[in-house]
Structure 1
Amino acid sequence: MTTPPQHLIWLSDPEPIEGASNGDCEVFVSLVPASHPHVVVRLQYVLLGGHKVEGPYGVRVQQADDVPLEAWKPVGATLVRDLPFVKLERVARLALTFGQRTPQGAPLDMSAGLFEAPPPIEKIPERAEEMVRANHPDVDPDGGPGALRRWRRLIRLAEVQLEYNAAAAAGEKAPATVVAEKRDASTATVNTWLHHAKKEGLDAQLAPDFSVVAVAPG
């Protein structure tokens, strides 16, 4: 049997947040990116009530702990820009959700850990563009008419998925119908768009790609 690789991921112990009265605590997830193994990315999360994952609320990029001073490299804008941050955050969130426990020893609440919380309605276009750029970095809207058409299609699919998630989070019993009314389309058409969004990796569900995290040396 092949042993699965051990990726360089660490979780800190939860620490109570000063002034919080309901058991809220903070926890840090640290990862070494495969593309930049000389740095470590630390993401700050909050466990509401000690069990519900929220965040990240902060990120720090610094030299990896085992890199000697003479091998340090600057952490500048280019490096930060090139980090696959969206994918790293997905891995970190999943690692936290499954690797941490509540103070009572129970699994964490995965409702916020496995699915992305929908953004405010006015932020959906911005978030849709982030999703498309993260999942389809090869699609350039300035790459010609064909590329522009694909870009617009992906943006629409991402927006529809986020609108559906927002309606579902608001307690709507038929979120696809809500989106259909907003977009002057049939519910069947919206369901088709949602199916295509999932096929394009735009369903806002965490599907971590562990290849973006460095593997521990054997």
Structure 2
Amino acid sequence: MSWAYPSIVGSGPNATILHYPHSDRQMLAGDLLLVDAACNFQYMSPDITRTYPVSGTFTPVQKDIYSLVLRAQDEGMKVARSGSSLAAIHNRIVEVFKEGLLRLGLIADTSGEQYRMWFTHSAAHYIGIDVHDVGDRTRALQPGMSFVIEPGLYIRQAALDALPRTSANVALIEKIQPAVTKYTGIGIRIEDSFLLEPSGLRRLSSAVPRTIEEVESFMRERGAAPSTGAR
């Protein structure tokens, strides 16, 4: 076996940077650690990402974001069936994110693309010999197809700072800045590899802890840095 792709590992604010290339930051208690890593198996290149709390448990604000990402993946999995498509999976995840981000105060409305400040990539792609395998995202899914579902949210103050200072953007920033301050520095992605079978969807990465309870149990079993208090 060999790596399916170069691993992506980012802790703390680096978890908010998609495909962060370095791994030299010292982790601190209270950080999140995002690990995107997998190995080839029988000519298959899966793609798996998990986000772990360095202190062993998620803080309340980390749980807010993790719960939303997890729900988005769950809803995407419901759409992943024969006759559907990767585009349909992505669209359903966007719907969930819009609803949740509005509730958390991280966007001001759901009619446009404000969510793209925090969700910066596609929610699904094919896997095969190549970890990002070829294929039309609108093609009807059929048994035998393999793909990932990978919702993620990356809350960075820099995303607001980069907005052009139009009157509409200034009003948006004023409205959502308190929530951005509350959640900034949190980057969470949950990514699993799937095989569509005649009987339904099979999660190939089912042995990897996924829910909040599973991840925290995994951390307890292996030890974690002491917490410095909830944020």
Q: Do these two structures clear the TM 0.5 threshold for a shared fold by scoring above it?
A: no
Select the structure that is richer in helix. Answer: 1
Q: TM-score, normalised by structure 2?
A: 0.26
Q: TM-score, normalised by structure 1?
A: 0.27
Which one has the largest radius of gyration? 1
Q: Which has the higher contact order (CA 8 A, sep 6+)?
A: 2
